[in-house]
Amino acid sequence: MLKDLVEYIAKSLVDNPDDVVVTEIEGEQTSVIELKVAKEDLGKVIGKQGRTARAMRTLLGAASTKVRKRSVLEILE
């Protein structure tokens, strides 16, 4: 569910939605969600002063409380 949320948001933001790759690494209490986009779309995902990335992390945190897990979003280059 959390992976799909990040993928939907990222594909909505970028110019090349086919290049969006989201992987989820599950732990016992924490899951790490890695987001990889095309190099030219990296600025769109991060946003000015990291505002877009911070907003995505906030949404992910709110959604992860529903499944009672902690989740971390990592944006890869």
Structural domain spans, the chain = 25-77
pLDDT surpasses 90 at 22: yes
φ and ψ at residue 58, rounded to 5 degrees: -65, -45
Classify residue 18 by its DSSP letter: G
Q: What is the pLDDT of residues 30-58, one digit of tens each?
A: 899 999 999 998 999 999 999 999 999 99
Amino acid letter at 65? T
Share of the chain above pLDDT 90, in %: 71
User: pTM of the predicted model, to two decimals?
Assistant: 0.86
